[in-house]
Amino acid sequence: MTDKGLIVSLSGPSGVGKGTVLAGVREKLPDSGTSVSVTTRKPREGEAEGVSYFFRTKEEFLKLIDEGEILEYDTYVDNYYGTPATPLKKMSSEGVDVLLDLTIAGSLALKEKFEQAVTIFILPPSYEALRTRLVGRGTETEDVIEKRLAEAQSEIVRANEFDYVVVNDDLEDAIHKVLSIIEAEKCRYEHNNGIEKKTSWT
């Protein structure tokens, strides 16, 4: 009965498995929406505007930041990548629930801008479990892993700024908890404005 779709954002330290959790949630909610990032890099062969990315010049991107259109952004190989606000507003206004994988700063910015935002922090079961996952990926040097672990410690202390915390100890359990949070949020009174006027018994 909600008029607006929820905008659900998952954040957490590198290696915690938030992308895998989100993929599992998407399988259960195939009608959910996702965000297409804005980037300043050139399109590659086969990439389409508004499907792969929204392609903009650096000047255009910086203007979008000034206008408050970019929720959060990062740079990689001298190119900007960011999350645009307008598509989220459009999908939510159409009643579509949007699922996002954002940085901590991105989730907190989302929470400030959208009343229908739901922020979830994905935690590792332990420091050692996180180290094991990072090592197990086999994609980074020991120095990079140590840097990621140090960064994770500074990120985890910000979990109290989120609406919910889910420990990713068992993948299926973590997916179930995120789905339960979404279902519970849909039942919150503030997300069902005017519900008493929509029921047949009033």
Domain boundaries of the chain, sorted by first residue = 1-33+96-193, 35-94
Low-confidence winner among 23-32, 49-58, 74-83, 121-130 (lowest mean pLDDT): 74-83
pLDDT of the residue at 198: 53
Give Cα 1 to chain centroid, integer Å: 24
Amino acid 200: pLDDT = 54
pTM greater than 0.85 (yes/no): no
- CA pair distance 68, 71, nearest whole angstrom: 7
Residue 80 has pLDDT above 90, yes or no: yes
How many angstroms separate the CA atoms of 149 and 193, rounded? 43
CATH superfamily of 35-94: Guanylate Kinase phosphate binding domain (3.30.63.10)
**Cα–Cα distance for residue pair 130/201, rounded to 1 Å:** 52
Q: Is the pLDDT of residue 183 over 90?
A: yes
CATH value of 1-33+96-193 in 3.40.50.300, 3.40.50.150, 3.40.190.170, 3.40.50.261: 3.40.50.300
Do residues 106 and 120 make contact, with C-beta atoms less than 8 angstroms apart? no
User: Which range is least confidently modeled, 61-70, 113-122, 138-147?
Assistant: 138-147
Q: Give the residue, 101 or 178, on which the prediction is more confident.
A: 178
Asked whether the predicted pLDDT for residue 199 surpasses 60, the reply is: no
Contacts of 5 (CB under 8 A, 6+ apart): 33, 91, 92, 93, 94, 95, 96, 97, 98, 116
* Other Cβ atoms within 10 Å of 13 Cβ, number: 22
**pLDDT of amino acid 109:** 87
Token output for 191 = 């997300």
pLDDT for the residue 105: 85
User: For residues 176 and 44, which has the higher predicted lDDT (pLDDT)?
Assistant: 176
For 1-36, the pLDDT digits (tens) are 457 899 999 999 988 999 899 999 999 999 999 888
